[in-house]
Structure 1
């Protein structure tokens, strides 16, 4: 997955938005005003920070070398995924979905209803 396909997939999520609140180097994806993914545009290899259930986060880190504790994030709730040949695109999409759903579940009931959740 490259930056464009990552961007397209994140924006395909219901009511997802993108912004650059931390400067021109960091692309942020939100739903309901809360971050579900962010990526640095100036680092190689491409990586993305994703929200994750704490127990699942540890499991993924143990299973995949390319999944690390969230860089500059709460390491209990965020993973940084290095997007390289060791990570299948289907796995990455599942992890983006997981992150998005965690954020949606944390939104107030009225906001969830607006999203149809």
Structure 2
């Protein structure tokens, strides 16, 4: 997966916006104003930070040593950094994006969940 495919997939999800809230090199994706993915555009190979269940994070880091690592500049418990243009299967990257998105949606307030559900 390249960075454009990553961007397109994130933006295809309901309620998602993109912005550069930190600097001009760090692209952030939010669902209903809450961050679920980010990437530094200057990194080669391309890397993205995705939220993940803590137990699953450990398993992924062990299975994909050096390709999935504790989240760079993020909570090491809840975020992973994933090298997306390496040997991590494309389907797994999509699944991890979905997982991050779903974790953030689960944590939204009832009001925001209702607003998200009402979107087409």
- Match status 1:33 vs 2:53: no
| Deviations 1:70-111 (CA, angstroms, capped at 9, x unpaired) | 000000000000113311111000000000000000000111
Which runs of 5 or more structure 1 residues have no equivalent in the other structure? none
| Deviations 1:7-46 (CA, angstroms, capped at 9, x unpaired) | 0000001010000011111000001111000000011110
Give the TM-score normalised by the residue count of structure 2: 0.94
Show structure 1 runs of 4+ deviating over 6 A. none
Q: State the Cα RMSD in Å.
A: 1.1
Task: Name the counterpart of 1:58.
Answer: 58
Task: Name the counterpart of 2:71.
Answer: 70
CA distance in structure 2 between the aligned counterparts of 1:94 and 1:102, rounded to whole angstroms? 12
CA distance in structure 2 between the aligned counterparts of 1:32 and 1:85, rounded to whole angstroms? 30
SS for the counterpart of 2:45 is coil
CA distance in structure 1 between the aligned counterparts of 2:85 and 2:69, rounded to whole angstroms? 13
Task: Name the counterpart of 2:4.
Answer: 4
CA distance in structure 2 between the aligned counterparts of 1:85 and 1:71, rounded to whole angstroms? 17
- Match status 1:106 vs 2:107: yes
Preserved CA contact (<8 Å) 2:2 2:85: no
CA distance in structure 2 between the aligned counterparts of 1:92 and 1:115, rounded to whole angstroms? 23
